[in-house]
Chain A
């Protein structure tokens, strides 16, 4: 492999990882704060992508789709949390898995009823429909844009969590919800907003990914599996860990494909296993 090709594959891996981070961050956030294993997270991603297809198809603008769709999905997340998830905080993870898996089936049926089972393409915004030449190769501008956008979202999340009152409550809620409640903070509202934010993040990722991946039934499940890998590698509940985990998954998948094609599908899981051998709770998980 030449140096320029290596650099390009590095970019490919980072870009893929950043998009994974966007999905996985919501998943790890919800687990960290609410203690809920949310299988329906992939469904939010899938619904986001379908909304992008639906709204952008009618308005011709992905931006409009994001501006309308993300708040819509936050509201949906809020409803799901209030009507379903909230009843299970006291229960064990198995009940949560059962419920959220039920939600996956429900959302898949909803997708089937509303949008049908066809594969749909979503056009990248016109302003980004060009290619950036890189030596002999070319990179679609939209891919570069999504990578930068995901980075910006990651930076914004960091700011919100470290520097704002809301972020402080989130951190407090994650480490000791009883104490937070005793201090007079409405934990229920905190949980609702975190879940809604997680749903919105997943939907946003789905919308951004729609022009890259196309929109198809079952797209949520494949992302969900990878997101769990990211979350486990990073340490459950740690957003910084999810960021590192996502990059690691993106890079190992990319280089796995190029260097060890026969082993490519197992590469990501091998990396996960290797990480867990040395850090059983993930890179940045609270070590027991």
Chain B
């Protein structure tokens, strides 16, 4: 009896092995290995978790199968540390042999990642980092971005502020690439529109000791202040701004990351803060409502802009992988399927630009009653200028 069942099992095993050995069949059967290079510890841990959970949510909505292949996640904590990025990227590409690489949150990590993936040619989807170079000077056919470029989260605000009559602005930002690029894009638009910059205050990243600079702002009395901070630094900055009595005196504007995900921590101090971003919790469209409900149900947390990028990434992949029947080795076809994809994202209409950055609406939002209220579209179909990228030109 036992001998009989044993031999049957051996037989089945041998049959399965022979199937796997056939190359045509293995591509359809092998699991789709998606690498996640995201921060699961440190300042940006919450962002990494939301992106991951939203990707998993989207995958579950596709029954855990993309292009006929079951999804397998390989997550690496990048610690938002650019110095460790090369090792982490190699671990995923060479060690884990991922089919698709996704991440990261931190732009510095993204830059290190780009250097490697440009050589390795693995299909890469940047799910957050907004560094201009990803879809600019370092752009590559097999690299896409589903989040935003820094330009998109700041340039549109220049026009908004000028229209509100703020002609003299003070800029304050975390002094690393994200902050610098946000400020450069804002400045470009603001000076072009006839505004002038009172002062630029660069705060070393990730310092959150702002008091000295806030005293300066109160003394300089600009028409308005435009800032870039994110995460815990954003939470603290907005509270300190209110604490220094500036909220009522000098209107505070920012790229949307100023309030994103930290609104509860900021409390009443965030009232009246205006920001621009390609997403808002309260966006009134069916895809957003469905997504937010599902995310809440799956995680017990509220969805945010980071989660949206993760969610869209998997939906775009599902669309493209279906076209190539899950064969990631058909990279050319896979790329053109992504390029032509049009999805209704929770953020609104979404398509890729020629440089593979999202073409998307940028909204003007204001915090009212502890909620992010959409005041309107600050810039419709905002497309990053993709400086330095030769693709499609």
- Flag whether B64 is at the interface (Cβ < 8 A): no
- In the bound complex, do residue A218 and residue B208 qualify as a contact, i.e. CB atoms below 8 Å apart? no
- In the bound complex, do residue B235 and residue A137 qualify as a contact, i.e. CB atoms below 8 Å apart? no
- Flag whether A151 is at the interface (Cβ < 8 A): no
Q: Mark A240-263, 1 if CB is under 8 A from B, else 0.
A: 000000000000011101100110
- In the bound complex, do residue B219 and residue A117 qualify as a contact, i.e. CB atoms below 8 Å apart? no
Distance (whole angstroms) from the CB of A249 to the closest CB of chain B:
11
Residue from A9, A112, A222 within 8 A of B212 (CB atoms):
A9
- In the bound complex, do residue B232 and residue A214 qualify as a contact, i.e. CB atoms below 8 Å apart? yes
> CA A213 – CA B42 in complex, angstroms?
16
- In the bound complex, do residue A119 and residue B211 qualify as a contact, i.e. CB atoms below 8 Å apart? no
Contacts of A219 in B (CB 8 A): 232
Given A137-B218, A265-B207, do A119 and B231 touch, yes or no (CB 8 Å)? yes
- In the bound complex, do residue B265 and residue A119 qualify as a contact, i.e. CB atoms below 8 Å apart? yes
Given A121-B267, A222-B206, do A214 and B239 touch, yes or no (CB 8 Å)? yes
- In the bound complex, do residue A258 and residue B213 qualify as a contact, i.e. CB atoms below 8 Å apart? yes
> CA A269 – CA B42 in complex, angstroms?
23
- In the bound complex, do residue B203 and residue A218 qualify as a contact, i.e. CB atoms below 8 Å apart? no
> CA A208 – CA B46 in complex, angstroms?
24
Given A219-B232, A264-B204, do A12 and B239 touch, yes or no (CB 8 Å)? no
- Residues of B183-224 whose CB lies within 8 A of A: 201-204, 206-209, 211-213, 215-216, 218-219
- In the bound complex, do residue A131 and residue B245 qualify as a contact, i.e. CB atoms below 8 Å apart? yes
Given A119-B231, A123-B267, A140-B244, do A218 and B211 touch, yes or no (CB 8 Å)? no
Contacts of B46 in A (CB 8 A): 116-119, 217
CB nearest neighbor in B for A254: B212
- Flag whether A108 is at the interface (Cβ < 8 A): yes
Contacts of B244 in A (CB 8 A): 137-140
> CA A138 – CA B42 in complex, angstroms?
33
Most B Cβ at <10 Å: residue of A131, A212, A258, A261: A261
- In the bound complex, do residue B235 and residue A258 qualify as a contact, i.e. CB atoms below 8 Å apart? no
Distance (whole angstroms) from the CB of A12 to the closest CB of chain B:
4
> CA A5 – CA B218 in complex, angstroms?
10
Given A16-B209, A143-B243, do A119 and B235 touch, yes or no (CB 8 Å)? yes
CB nearest neighbor in B for A118: B46
CB nearest neighbor in B for A263: B204
- In the bound complex, do residue A119 and residue B204 qualify as a contact, i.e. CB atoms below 8 Å apart? no
> CA A142 – CA B239 in complex, angstroms?
12
- In the bound complex, do residue B265 and residue A137 qualify as a contact, i.e. CB atoms below 8 Å apart? no
Most B Cβ at <10 Å: residue of A15, A119, A140: A119
Contacts of A121 in B (CB 8 A): 235, 239, 264-267
Residue from A120, A137, A217 within 8 A of B215 (CB atoms):
A137
Contacts of B240 in A (CB 8 A): 212
- In the bound complex, do residue B239 and residue A261 qualify as a contact, i.e. CB atoms below 8 Å apart? no
Most B Cβ at <10 Å: residue of A121, A139, A258: A121
Given A12-B215, A119-B262, A218-B43, do A262 and B202 touch, yes or no (CB 8 Å)? yes
> CA A217 – CA B47 in complex, angstroms?
12
Given A138-B245, A264-B203, do A253 and B209 touch, yes or no (CB 8 Å)? yes
Contacts of B167 in A (CB 8 A): none
CB nearest neighbor in B for A262: B202
> CA A131 – CA B218 in complex, angstroms?
14
Given A131-B243, A214-B239, do A2 and B41 touch, yes or no (CB 8 Å)? no
Residue from B41, B202, B236 within 8 A of A213 (CB atoms):
B236
> CA A254 – CA B211 in complex, angstroms?
8
- Flag whether B261 is at the interface (Cβ < 8 A): yes
Distance (whole angstroms) from the CB of A13 to the closest CB of chain B:
7
- In the bound complex, do residue A218 and residue B41 qualify as a contact, i.e. CB atoms below 8 Å apart? yes
> CA A15 – CA B211 in complex, angstroms?
10
Distance (whole angstroms) from the CB of A116 to the closest CB of chain B:
8
Given A117-B49, A143-B243, A216-B232, do A257 and B219 touch, yes or no (CB 8 Å)? no
- Residues of A173-219 whose CB lies within 8 A of B: 212-219
- In the bound complex, do residue B41 and residue A108 qualify as a contact, i.e. CB atoms below 8 Å apart? yes
CB nearest neighbor in B for A265: B204
- In the bound complex, do residue B265 and residue A257 qualify as a contact, i.e. CB atoms below 8 Å apart? no
Q: Which residues of B contact A (CB under 8 A)?
A: 41-43, 45-46, 49, 175, 201-204, 206-209, 211-213, 215-216, 218-219, 231-232, 235-236, 239-240, 243-245, 261-262, 264-267
Beyond contacts A9-B212, A217-B41: 19 other A-B pairs, Cβ-Cβ < 8 A, are A5-B215, A5-B219, A117-B45, A119-B232, A119-B262, A120-B265, A136-B219, A137-B219, A137-B244, A138-B244, A216-B43, A216-B231, A217-B43, A218-B232, A254-B212, A257-B213, A261-B201, A264-B204, A264-B207
Identify 30 residue pairs between A and B in the complex whose beta-carbon atoms are under 8 Å apart, listed by A's number. A9-B212, A13-B212, A112-B41, A112-B45, A118-B46, A118-B261, A118-B265, A119-B46, A123-B267, A137-B218, A137-B219, A138-B218, A138-B244, A138-B245, A139-B244, A140-B244, A212-B239, A214-B235, A214-B262, A214-B265, A215-B265, A217-B42, A218-B42, A218-B43, A253-B209, A257-B209, A257-B212, A258-B216, A264-B204, A265-B175
Q: Which residues of A contact B (CB under 8 A)?
A: 2, 5, 8-9, 12-13, 15-16, 108, 112, 116-121, 123, 131, 133, 136-140, 142-143, 212-219, 222, 253-255, 257-258, 261-262, 264-265
